[in-house]
């Protein structure tokens, strides 16, 4: 599913640039993606679109997120740490954080792999028509073993 999401991000600059599901399914099949992977991604994207429609850019600087035990199990400590990092860096406001958490828990794999979570963060920005700044894009695309420690 995540390969399909990355392909969509790289191919379509905005969600409204994507064709309807039937045509998109054909294009993704032609690109070599498996039918079940395409359907899983499209279902996940429908959930993302619903979250984006109800997105409120309002944010409180006092917001603090307490994760439930189920969220800890589904998301995992490493991914929760990354979400906290993005939030503390000021690039993931609370409403977007909630979208990331919602879409991460919708994946079903637990705990979610950090690289998959990064794709989710990227897709949340994409769904809102926003592009993360260059430093965050680097963080989302650079594998941990390739990062330099300063």
Give CA 143 to chain center in angstroms.
Answer: 16
Count of C-beta atoms within a 10 Å radius of residue 7: 16
pLDDT in tens, 83-130: 999 998 888 889 999 999 999 999 977 889 999 999 999 999 999 988
User: Under a CB-based contact definition with an 8 Å cutoff, are residues 145 and 116 in contact?
Assistant: no
Closest CA to 27 of 46, 44, 11: 11
d(CA 117, CA 140): 9
The interaxial angle of helices 2-11 and 35-53, nearest 10 deg, is: 60
pTM for the full predicted model: 0.83
């Amino acid at each position: 599913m995540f390969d399909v999401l990355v392909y969509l991000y790289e191919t379509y600059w905005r969600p409204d640039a994507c064709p309807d599901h039937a045509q998109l399914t054909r294009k993704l099949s032609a690109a070599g993606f498996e039918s079940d992977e395409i359907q899983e991604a499209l279902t996940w994207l429908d959930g993302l679109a619903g979250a984006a429609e109800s997105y409120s850019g309002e944010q409180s600087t006092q917001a603090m997120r307490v994760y439930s035990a189920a969220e800890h199990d589904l998301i995992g400590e490493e991914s929760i740490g990354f979400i906290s990092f993005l939030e503390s860096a000021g690039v993931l406001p609370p409403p977007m954080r909630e979208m990331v958490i919602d879409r991460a828990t919708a994946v079903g794999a637990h705990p979610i792999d950090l690289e998959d979570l990064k794709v989710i963060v990227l897709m949340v920005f994409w769904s809102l028509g926003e592009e993360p700044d260059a430093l965050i894009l680097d963080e989302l695309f650079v594998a941990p073993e390739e990062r330099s420690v300063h």
